[in-house]
Amino acid sequence: MTDTDKILIPVWAIKLVGAKGYVDRFLFHASECKTYKAAYLKTEEEYYFFFGVNRYSSYKSFASARRQYRLRQIRNKLKRAEQLRTNKKK
């Protein structure tokens, strides 16, 4: 492999592969776009540019996945809080 064969991919683009990275990038665009759908389309465009496929088939699919991601975050936070309470009682 020569130097001209190497492709430099920004760290934020690599993070798009994970749920947290994708949602973080979506939120970055959401601060600049008028609608969440526009932010999703921008994020999906970037994902396609770097990986050659779409991550989600539609905005509806993404919204559902994002909702599940947020619920998982809340459940984990509650679980950690319960563990801390349990450890303090001992």
3-state secondary structure of 1: coil
- In a domain, residue 7? The reply is no
Q: Which of 16, 10, 11, 18 is nearest to 29 (CA)?
A: 16
- In a domain, residue 85? The reply is yes
Render pLDDT for 62-86 as a digit per residue (tens, 0 to 9): 999 999 999 999 999 999 998 888 8
Count the Cβ atoms, other than its own, within 10 Å of residue 12.
Answer: 13
User: What counts of helices (H) and strands (E) characterise the chain?
Assistant: 4, 0
| Whole-structure pTM value | 0.80
Q: Which of 43, 9, 10 is nearest to 28 (CA)?
A: 43
- In a domain, residue 20? The reply is yes
Full residue range of the structural domain in which residue 24 is found: 12-89
- In a domain, residue 6? The reply is no
- In a domain, residue 1? The reply is no
Task: Please give the tally of structural domains in the chain.
Answer: 1
- In a domain, residue 75? The reply is yes
3-state secondary structure of 28: helix
Tens of each residue's pLDDT in the chain, 90 residues: 566 677 788 999 999 999 999 999 999 999 999 999 999 999 999 999 999 999 999 999 999 999 999 999 999 999 999 888 888 766
